[in-house]
Structures are given as structure tokens and as C-alpha cells.
Amino acid sequence: MTDAAAASRPPFDRAALYRWLFLLFVAGFVAAPLIATLLGGFKSLGDLRTNPFGMPREWEWSNYADILLSKRYWRMLWNSFVISSLTTIITLIVAAMAAFVFAHLRFFGSRMLLNYFTMGLLFPAATAILPLFIKVRDLGLLDTYFGVVLPQVAFALAMSILLFRRFFRDLPHELLEAALVDGCSYPRFFRFVTLPLSTPILATVGTITFVHSWNSYLLPLVMLNSDAMYPWPLGIMVYQGEFTADWHLILAFITLTILPTFLLFVLAQKHIVAGLTVGAVKG
Amino acid sequence: MSTTALGRAATSGKLTAVVLFLPPALVLFTLFVILPVGEAAWYSGFNWNGFGRPTNWIGFTNYDYVFEARAFGLALRNNVLIIVISLGIQLPLALTLAILLAEKFRGAVALRMLFFLPYVLAEVATGLIFSFVYDGDYGLLAGVWRFFGAEPPHLLASTQTSMLAILIVVVWKYFGFHMMLFIAALQGQDQHLVEAARIDGASRWQVLRHITIPLLYPTIRLSVFFAVVGSLQLFDLVMPLTRGGPADSSQTMVSFLYSHGVTRMRIGYGSAIGVILFVICVTFAVTYKRWFMRDD
């Protein structure tokens, strides 16, 4: 009887057990800080001190409610939204136009110009942050959205142009030839044929640019100096500076500021993963 | 001949396209990327606080100051440490997880997403979350220590442990990105080779060792490239955790540039740091691409 039961049971798979233990361990390592942050926002300070891991003893909804009702939270998110949207739109337009030229037109120096843009991939914005500050100041753009947006666009161009160019070149050549024979000009072809066919690459480049801009810290930190203009990564640091030891409030604030990123990620995970990894690889 | 060519170019709008489409990108890129790098080299020769025009030319003195600064040595050491941890711990971890999660089973996709999530979160938010985790009074780590009846450590407040604390966060935040690179590559691999080898009697481990991983070499080289470039740029994560302290013990190149150049408005000195960082980045990118990524 026991022998028969043991024989019919699938053999105990030790490797599978170890695999699951390992995966669960890593999952715990990743998830624990996030879950503790979310729950911590519902606790009182005393509760947080004696019980950092468990469920809140009393659910303090007011921690979250006060932030959601405050003007600063929405102002920060609005600033971030404006900066990221402007950066994304301008990058898409400017990079797609330049990439179209590099993909379809040969002229004296075109290869050299493309290499010129590729240089932008070699170093981060931080290397030239001080001259960039002087430049933005001299242009009168300090403490304006465009003081952050224009440098962000400029540093996004190299990668974006390369991604667009590769995609444009892979579009069927017959399209362009037929259009030219029919008397369609290059600019019209770009507007009415290339762009409508390019939704996937527009989505990819748009995602990369938006996420980078939404999360960016150094450029706004140097270019903006009034609280009213701060995007959320700066605003959250100011908040933390004001409430240094009130961890329950800071945790609620962190949770609410990463909420938009989290929702976007859950809704558009395929696009985001593809954009951030495949985009990086092909760049 | 040339006039007809020109005429044809005009009717097809070739000229218009070049003249209309290229300048916006060219102007923005030149103004905000290329010129500032050149200006950094120029400013680095001056003792200048940013007001008026730079007049006080001091040659290479700023570079001498940078190389003599204790914080610079620490920043350089820390950047190397980040690279070592990225290659020694993060990369093997990402590779192992990718091999486990590239297979189809219940929960694999959910785990992939969970592991990728930290990469999408902003560095600043991540830094703040971990400054809570490490907090000696309220943090998770303190909770664990207290559970065992020990006095909680203040990791971020000690010159001995501040960098260790940051390295853990670096792994937490970035391994998922590298894992996704590997998963994408694994899913693009031709399964026939693996099947053929299995039929010929190769064990799972032999297949992994002699087929799967060698096929991943181009991706591994790419992953190493991203790890090094990412390390050289690391800044946002350091600010909420330690601001480079205590006593510069967790400074990175960029946080050193920020705290010693930008906040003190020492344009010349900060520019010199920027130029050094620029030279390191460009030298690495060019040699790495030439030596390791020629055929990719």
C-alpha cells in the first residue's frame, strides 16, 4: 500500500525545490522594502518603530489623505508631467526629422554628421554640468521648464536618432521610390508615409525619453531653484528635509510619488520593458 | 548636368528636407552637448566663481587640486568598487535568474516583472526607501537586529559601512535590467541546437555550459558595458542615502563633482572634474567597443 502510493507520487524533485527557494528569496529581497514602504505609510510613528515589518495596528489613513489633499503633491507631479511631456514631444519631432535625413538622403558630409551625433552616446550630461548651467543662465532659462527640457532633449538626441534611423531604413524601399516617381516630395513623404508607419518606434523612443525625464534629478537640481518649479524627485527630497524623523509621513509621500510610475508600469509593462531593454541594446 | 541634378533635388524636396529637418537637432545638440564639453575644458583653466567673465587663468592648477583631493581618490575607488560588485555579484545573479525565468512556468512572468520593477523606479525614490530600510531607529534592518536582541547599526552613518550600504542598493536596483537583457537574448536563441545536444545525450549542465552561455557572450559584453557606464554616472542614488558622506567615504565621481564643484560654485575646479570624467568615459567607451564589441 505505502509502496504503491510512493511509486505513484511524482519523484521528489530536489532541484525544483532549490530553484523555488532561491526565486522566493530574491523575490523577498526585492519586495520587502517596497511593501514595508507602502505599509509604513499607514502606521503611526510609534507603531513603525516597534513593528517595522507587520501590518499596521491602526490604519492611519490620514497620512495619505493629508498628502493627497495638499497642493505641493499635485504641483510636483504637474511640474514633472510638463517637463517630461515637453521633453518627449520635442525629442520625438527633432530626432525623427534628423533621422529621416540620415536614413534616406546622401549628401556631402552626411556620414560625418551622423558620427557627430553618435558622440553624444559616449559621455553623460554630468561631465559638462557646470558649463551647461552657465549656458542656461546666460540664455535666461534658469528656473524655467525649458532650462531643463532643452538640455534633456539634446542629450536624448544621439540614442533617439540612431533608433529612428535604423527603423526608417528597414521600411520597404519601394514605398519611397514609388512616391518620388508620383511626384511626392521628401517632406510630404515623411509626414504622410514614414510617420504613420512608425508607431512602434515612436512608442519605444517616447517611453525611454519619458521615463528618463520623469525620474531625472541632476539637471532639474542644477537648473531650478524655486520650490514652485520642482519636479517630484526634487520635491520629495525637500519634503524629506522638512520631516526628517517623521518616517511614517515620508513613507506615505514616497508611496504616493512612485504610484504614477507603478501604475504606468503595470498598464504598459510590455512597452516599457521592450523600450528600456531592446532600445538600450539596439542603441 | 549639375543644374538638372539640382533641379531634380529641388522638385523632390531633397534640399528642403535637408535644410528643414537637420538644423533643429544640430543646433540643440551643438549648443547643449558639444559646446559645454569644450567649455568645460576651457573653464577648467580658470579660478572662477561664475560671476562676470573668467579672467583668472591658472593653467592646470585645478587638475593638481583634483588629483590631490582625498575625496577624488575615494570617489575613484568607489566607482571601481561599484564596477567590481556589478560584475562579480550582479551579473551572475542576473544571469542565473534569467536562465531560471526564461522557461515557461506559472509565475515566471510575474517574477520577471517584479524583478524589473526596481529599475523603473526613480533613483531618488529608491535611495529614500533604502535610507528608511537602513535607519537605525525605525528601519527594517534595525527591526531584524532588535529581533535578535542586538544593538541596531547605523550603516549610513559610518565611514566603514556607508559604501557597502550603497552597493547593496545598486544590486537591488539594477540586476533586473540585466536579467531582462539576458532573457530577451535567451528567447531569441535557436532551440534546435539545445534539442540536438540533448538528444545526443548532453546533460542540462553541459548544454548550459557549452551552448547557452557561449551564445550569450555578446549580451554579457553589452551588460558589462552598461554596468561600467552606469557606475561612472551614479549620482541620484547616492544623494538621498549619504550625499557622499560621511567624510566623503561614499563619494562617486559625479557626487564629488556636485558637492565639491557645483554647490560651492567653483566653476573651474568642477569643470576639471568633469573633464577627467569625460576622458574616463570616452576612453572606456572607445576602447571597449574596439576590443570587445567589434563583431556585434
Q: pLDDT digit of tens for each residue in chain A (283 aa)?
A: 445 444 455 567 788 889 899 999 999 999 999 999 999 889 888 888 888 888 888 888 888 988 899 999 999 999 999 999 999 999 999 999 999 999 988 888 889 999 999 988 888 889 999 999 999 999 999 999 999 999 999 999 999 999 999 999 988 888 888 888 888 888 888 999 999 999 988 988 998 899 899 999 999 999 999 999 999 999 999 998 888 888 899 999 999 999 988 888 888 787 777 777 765 665 4
A193 near B CB under 8 A: no
Asked if the Cβ–Cβ distance from B26 to A150 is below 8 Å, we say no
Upstream peptide bond of B246 is cis (omega within 30 degrees of 0): yes
Interatomic CA distance for residues B170 and B90, integer angstroms: 9
Contacts of A33 in chain B (CB under 8 A): 129-130, 132-133, 140, 172
Asked if the Cβ–Cβ distance from A237 to B124 is below 8 Å, we say yes
Minimal CA–CA distance to B18: which of A93, A194, A102?
A102
* Lookup: cell for B93: 545573479
Would you mind telling me the total number of residues written for chain B in this entry? 296
pLDDT higher for B47 or A86? A86
Lowest mean pLDDT among A176-185, B269-278, B286-295: B286-295
Which helix (H) or strand (E) element contains residue B166? Answer: helix B162-187
Asked if the Cβ–Cβ distance from B133 to A33 is below 8 Å, we say yes
What pLDDT is stored for residue B177 in this prediction?
A: 93
Contacts of B261 in chain A (CB under 8 A): 130
* Chain A, window 127-186: residues with a beta carbon less than 8 angstroms from a chain B beta carbon: 127-135, 150-151, 153-155, 157-158, 161, 180, 183, 185-186
Asked if the Cβ–Cβ distance from B233 to A126 is below 8 Å, we say yes
What pLDDT is stored for residue B5 in this prediction?
A: 57
Per-residue pLDDT, averaged over B165-186, amounts to 94
A30 near B CB under 8 A: yes
Per-residue burial over A9-38, b if 16 or more Cβ lie within 10 Å, else e, is eeeeeeeeeeeeeebeebeeebeebbebbb
Q: What is the pTM of this model?
A: 0.89
What pLDDT is stored for residue A1 in this prediction?
A: 43
**Which of B30, B79, B129, B155 to probe the A interface (max A CBs under 10 A)?**
B129
Is-contact B78 B250, C-beta < 8 A?
A: yes
How many Cβ atoms are within 10 Å of B18's Cβ, its own excluded? Answer: 16
Residue B91 banded pLDDT, cuts 50, 70, 90 = very high
Residue B249 banded pLDDT, cuts 50, 70, 90 = very high
How many Cβ atoms are within 10 Å of B120's Cβ, its own excluded? Answer: 22
What pLDDT is stored for residue A184 in this prediction?
A: 86
Domains of chain A: 12-59 (no CATH), 71-282 (1.10.3720.10)
How many helices (DSSP H) and strands (DSSP E) are in chain B? Answer: 16, 0
Residue B107 banded pLDDT, cuts 50, 70, 90 = confident
Scanning every residue of chain B, which has its alpha carbon at the shortest distance from the alpha carbon of A240?
A: B128
pLDDT higher for B67 or A173? B67
Residue type, B237: L
Asked if the Cβ–Cβ distance from A131 to B34 is below 8 Å, we say no
Q: Which of A122, A250, A261 sits opposite B281 (nearest CB)?
A: A122
Minimal CA–CA distance to A172: which of A202, A198, A201, A206?
A198
Residue B204 banded pLDDT, cuts 50, 70, 90 = confident
Q: Which of B13, B132, B172 sits opposite A37 (nearest CB)?
A: B132
What pLDDT is stored for residue B1 in this prediction?
A: 42
Scanning every residue of chain B, which has its alpha carbon at the shortest distance from the alpha carbon of A126?
A: B254
What pLDDT is stored for residue B10 in this prediction?
A: 57
Domains of chain B: 61-292 (1.10.3720.10)
The DSSP call for residue A107 is: -
pLDDT higher for A121 or B168? B168
Interatomic CA distance for residues A50 and A38, integer angstroms: 17
How many Cβ atoms are within 10 Å of B20's Cβ, its own excluded? Answer: 15
What pLDDT is stored for residue B202 in this prediction?
A: 86
Asked if the Cβ–Cβ distance from B132 to A97 is below 8 Å, we say no
Per-residue pLDDT, averaged over B226-236, amounts to 92
Residue type, B280: I
Residue B85 has pLDDT above 50, yes or no: yes
Residue B2 has pLDDT above 50, yes or no: no
Residue B11 has pLDDT above 70, yes or no: no
Q: Which of B138, B184, B274 sits opposite A129 (nearest CB)?
A: B274
Percent of chain B at pLDDT > 70 equals 95
